[in-house]
Amino acid sequence: MHARIIGTGSYLPEKILTNDDLSKLVDTSDVWITERTGIRERRMAAEGEMTSDLALVASQRAIQAAGVQASDIDLIVVATTTPDVIFPSTACILQQKLGIPGCAAFDVQAVCSGFLYALATADNFIRAGSSKCALIVGAEIFSRILDWTDRTTCVLFGDGAGAAVLRRDALPGVIATELHADGRYTDILKVPGSIAAGAVKGKPYLEMDGPAVFKFAVKALGDAAESILAAQRISKAEVDWMIPHQANLRIIESTAKRLDLPMSKVVVTLPQHGNTSAASIPLALDTAVRDGRVKQGDLLLLEGIGGGFAWGSALVRW
């Protein structure tokens, strides 16, 4: 038995924050942000809008695209670093909003690689016979964990959600997934704050050693892509689309170069979305599915990396 992605959906909050808007908040410029990252604008969740609200719309669109009923879903996995509350899980809140009580629902926390962790989890549940129809979601409101006075981080991220429905199938849609983590790098990208005795202890905003993250990401993503292709005896030339985590255009370009992939085979949503963490891969996937770039039979290479460090890749036949 295999798992096949049968529908995708996504949602972006209405409010757009451009690089020029940001230059009124901190000492930055459109030129600096565009040249260093490739980002031109990002979306911001409205006050009161929660991660589960973003996840709900993306899920409803994925369920509709899949042509199934919400009640067919027997597993919900939400990848998020910005849950509505500490608990219950955003997956349980989403389940309640979808009106499908009873099925398994839980969150995974692997920051920007979260969607790949959710995909691998659902794929394994389906192949083990524990699920027939799974909903996986990457949803984030990173704008709430950013220090809006820190120009080195606040310009990089945006809010959004993407979702996919996977169904048991005789043919392999998800060919392989490969996950990695290295906890020795917890310090280069983190939100160190925690809650203790009714108060936030430590900084509740994102901290990052940008150049160290850049260096680590370039190497890990290249290695992960080469490793999963070699394990499946699939050549680089067979990849129709690379759908990478959207953190920085220079990271994406360097991975594509290492794989000898022209940028015309890489889905890039970074200029419009910024880095939406766990939502970035499903947002890019849904964009390319809906605009017709991804076609039936295409071989997709998904890859992502984020705090932890945690990273991974997946090969998917569309």
Residues that bind ligand ACO (CB under 6 A): 28, 32-33, 36-37, 112, 151-152, 155-156, 189, 208, 210-211, 213-214, 217, 245, 247-248, 275, 305-306
Q: Report how far residue 71's alpha carbon sits from residue 53's, in angstroms, rounded to the nearest whole number.
A: 19
Give min distance, CB of 280 to ligand ACO, in A: 8
| 149, two tokens | 């006075």
Residue (112 or 133) nearer to ligand ACO, CB: 112
248 among known catalytic residues: no
Smallest gap from residue 221 Cβ to ligand ACO (A) = 9
Q: Which of 19, 92, 103, 112 is catalytic?
A: 112
Query: What DSSP character marks residue 215?
Result: H
Classified as helix, coil or strand, 22 is helix
Peptide bond into 115 cis (omega under 30): no
Work out how close the CB of 229 gets to ligand ACO at its nearest, in angstroms, rounded to a whole number: 21
Q: Which member of 133, 154, 245, 248 is catalytic?
A: 245
Residue (7 or 306) nearer to ligand ACO, CB: 306
State which residue, 211 or 297, has the beta carbon closest to ligand ACO. 211
Cross-sheet strand order for the sheet of 241-244:
174-181, 310-317, 299-306, 241-244
215 contacts: CB under 8 Å, gap ≥ 6:
none
Q: Is 112 a catalytic residue?
A: yes
Of 8 and 28, CB closest to ligand ACO: 28
- Smallest distance, Å, CB 157 to ligand ACO? 7
The Cα 161–Cα 273 span in angstroms is 11
User: By beta-carbon distance, which residue lies closest to ligand ACO?
Assistant: 210
Active site residue 19: no
- Which helix (H) or strand (E) covers residue 65, if one does? helix 51-66
User: How far is the C-alpha of 163 from the C-alpha of 169, rounded, in Å?
Assistant: 19
End-to-end CA distance of the chain: 16
Least separation in angstroms between residue 301's CB and ligand ACO is 17
Considering beta carbons, is residue 56 or 259 the nearer one to ligand ACO? 259
User: In this structure, what token pair is assigned to residue 223?
Assistant: 């290695």
Residues identified as active-site: 112, 245, 275
